[in-house]
Amino acid sequence: MANVYQVYGNSSPVAPLAALMVDATAAALDGLRTVTINPINTLVRFQARAQQRRQLKGLDDRMLADIGLTRKAADKEANKPFWMA
Protein backbone atom coordinates (compact mmCIF):
# COMPACT_ATOMS: atom_id res chain seq x y z
CA MET A 1 0.00 0.00 0.00
CA ALA A 2 1.24 3.46 -0.82
CA ASN A 3 2.28 5.82 1.94
CA VAL A 4 -0.51 8.36 2.57
CA TYR A 5 1.96 11.21 2.16
CA GLN A 6 2.80 9.87 -1.31
CA VAL A 7 -0.90 9.82 -2.15
CA TYR A 8 -1.89 13.19 -0.65
CA GLY A 9 1.45 15.03 -0.65
CA ASN A 10 3.42 16.40 2.29
CA SER A 11 1.61 19.74 2.35
CA SER A 12 -1.91 18.30 2.31
CA PRO A 13 -3.95 18.89 5.46
CA VAL A 14 -5.63 15.53 4.83
CA ALA A 15 -2.42 13.46 5.02
CA PRO A 16 -2.01 13.41 8.84
CA LEU A 17 -5.65 12.39 9.34
CA ALA A 18 -5.35 9.72 6.67
CA ALA A 19 -2.19 8.40 8.34
CA LEU A 20 -4.02 8.17 11.69
CA MET A 21 -6.90 6.34 10.07
CA VAL A 22 -4.54 3.85 8.42
CA ASP A 23 -2.74 3.24 11.74
CA ALA A 24 -6.01 2.83 13.66
CA THR A 25 -7.36 0.41 11.08
CA ALA A 26 -4.17 -1.64 11.15
CA ALA A 27 -4.28 -1.80 14.97
CA ALA A 28 -7.92 -2.89 14.95
CA LEU A 29 -7.21 -5.59 12.39
CA ASP A 30 -4.25 -6.84 14.42
CA GLY A 31 -6.50 -7.16 17.47
CA LEU A 32 -9.19 -8.94 15.48
CA ARG A 33 -6.59 -11.27 13.98
CA THR A 34 -5.37 -12.21 17.47
CA VAL A 35 -8.91 -13.01 18.64
CA THR A 36 -9.76 -15.12 15.61
CA ILE A 37 -6.47 -17.02 15.44
CA ASN A 38 -6.37 -18.04 19.09
CA PRO A 39 -9.74 -17.44 20.78
CA ILE A 40 -8.97 -19.65 23.82
CA ASN A 41 -5.86 -17.64 24.72
CA THR A 42 -7.83 -14.45 24.21
CA LEU A 43 -10.58 -15.60 26.58
CA VAL A 44 -8.01 -16.68 29.20
CA ARG A 45 -6.28 -13.29 28.92
CA PHE A 46 -9.63 -11.47 29.26
CA GLN A 47 -10.54 -13.52 32.34
CA ALA A 48 -7.15 -12.90 33.97
CA ARG A 49 -7.40 -9.18 33.26
CA ALA A 50 -10.88 -9.00 34.81
CA GLN A 51 -9.73 -10.89 37.91
CA GLN A 52 -6.66 -8.68 38.34
CA ARG A 53 -8.80 -5.56 38.10
CA ARG A 54 -11.25 -6.89 40.69
CA GLN A 55 -8.33 -7.61 43.02
CA LEU A 56 -6.89 -4.15 42.41
CA LYS A 57 -10.18 -2.62 43.57
CA GLY A 58 -9.80 -4.50 46.86
CA LEU A 59 -6.40 -3.08 47.78
CA ASP A 60 -6.22 -0.40 50.44
CA ASP A 61 -4.14 2.77 50.05
CA ARG A 62 -1.17 1.31 51.95
CA MET A 63 -1.05 -1.72 49.66
CA LEU A 64 -1.33 0.50 46.60
CA ALA A 65 1.55 2.63 47.87
CA ASP A 66 3.62 -0.55 48.28
CA ILE A 67 3.22 -1.30 44.57
CA GLY A 68 3.72 2.32 43.54
CA LEU A 69 0.15 3.23 42.62
CA THR A 70 -2.11 6.02 43.74
CA ARG A 71 -5.80 5.40 44.43
CA LYS A 72 -6.65 7.45 41.34
CA ALA A 73 -4.36 5.40 39.07
CA ALA A 74 -5.62 2.13 40.56
CA ASP A 75 -9.26 3.15 40.08
CA LYS A 76 -8.57 4.19 36.50
CA GLU A 77 -7.01 0.78 35.74
CA ALA A 78 -9.61 -1.19 37.70
CA ASN A 79 -12.49 0.49 35.86
CA LYS A 80 -11.22 -0.39 32.39
CA PRO A 81 -13.23 -3.02 30.52
CA PHE A 82 -11.57 -6.44 30.39
CA TRP A 83 -10.95 -6.23 26.66
CA MET A 84 -8.79 -3.10 27.01
CA ALA A 85 -5.11 -3.62 27.76
Residue range 51-82, pLDDT digits in tens: 999 999 999 999 999 999 999 999 999 999 98
Domain residue ranges in the chain: 1-37, 38-85
The mean predicted confidence, pLDDT, of the chain is: 83
| CA distances in angstroms from 51 to 11, 13, 26, 57, 81, listed in the order given | 48, 44, 29, 10, 11
In this prediction, what percent of the chain has a pLDDT beyond 70? Answer: 84
